[in-house]
Amino acid sequence: MAKKEVVKGVPLAKTTEEMILNFPRGKYSAIPMAALWVKELRKREENRHLTPAELLDLAVREVLGGKVDWKDLKKAAAANGDGTPAKV
């Protein structure tokens, strides 16, 4: 059986399950954040071609990866006039 070669300098992609388990604010606070972020991503022109499943995966990965925080969600909601999301 051949060994897998490890390429240095290339980061390993984390699985969604691994990201959920390592989320610092708790996995249950990530769910409403991802739901709100999906709504925001759906409004953007560059994401119009994505299916709902792809949008959900993108939102979950961005929330769990730390790219999106409650501050970003509040800014997006204020810009769209949706009101301020409640922090869980």
pTM beyond 0.75: the answer is: no
- Residue 72 — very low, low, confident or very high, per pLDDT cuts 50/70/90? confident
Q: pLDDT digits over 5-31, tens only?
A: 555 655 557 787 787 777 877 778 888
Give the separation between CA 82 and CA 33, rounded to whole angstroms.
15
Give the separation between CA 49 and CA 17, rounded to whole angstroms.
26
